[in-house]
Amino acid sequence: MFQKLFSTENPVWRAMDRMGDLMILNFLFIFFSIPIFTIGASLTALYTVSFKLLDETEGNIVKNYFKAFKNNFKQATVIWVVVLLAGLFLAYDAYLAYVSTSIVSKILMGVIILVAIIYAMWTSWIFPVQCKFDNPVKVNMKNAALMMVIHMFPTTLLITVLNVVPFLILWFYTTTFFALLPFVVFLMFSFIVYNNCKQLKKAFADYIPEPELPEDPYKE
């Protein structure tokens, strides 16, 4: 009985071990994102190691994170700049439409909201695609858009909701933000990405071939 209780195969211990891995990843993501312009590379590295955790091939988490950060830095930073500028442009347009009292501005606000939803769905795909496919930036950006549409139901909707809702709650409810601050610091980002990977793994299986097993020399 005691052997089962303290066995590494015990579901409780496995869950605690995974929680520890996600906490380490969360700290790494926050630390490497501090300069702001590195967020793209940091997020790509977070996805890379999270997929490894899901496949149980992670090895040394810190080394793998740093390696993925370094390997994807250039392309992921270019993507992040595009994402950031597009987001700022949408936010500015939304602000102008919000403060305006004209009927046209209200119609424009509806268009902006629609574009913002598409933007949120696309950004939910682009960094996972960057971590999984060794293509030029333009190709990965286009493929992310195609996968977003192809896997709209349920993958795109699920990961977009998981990405957006926590930040909306923290934004609109200040008291909730302070109450959940420990969760944000210790777990939130890695928890979101890890659960995204569970959904994305199924979708990526259509594009990533399974590794070929070596032939059995004794097979007749």
Q: Where are the domains of the chain?
A: 2-204
Question: 2: pLDDT confidence band, cut at 50, 70 and 90?
Answer: very low
Cα(127)–Cα(29) distance, integer angstroms? 14
What would the pLDDT profile of 171-187 be if each residue is shown by its tens digit?
888 787 788 889 999 99
Q: Which residues contact 104 (CB under 8 A, 6 or more apart)?
A: none
Checking if the pLDDT of 85 tops 90, the result is yes
Which runs of consecutive H residues, i.e. helices, occur in 34-156?
A: 39-55, 61-99, 103-132, 137-150
Contact criterion met (CB below 8 Å) for 163 and 196: yes
Average pLDDT, integer, range 105-110: 93
Residue 169 token pair: 């709650």
The Cα 78–Cα 137 span in angstroms is 8
Mean pLDDT, all residues of the chain: 90
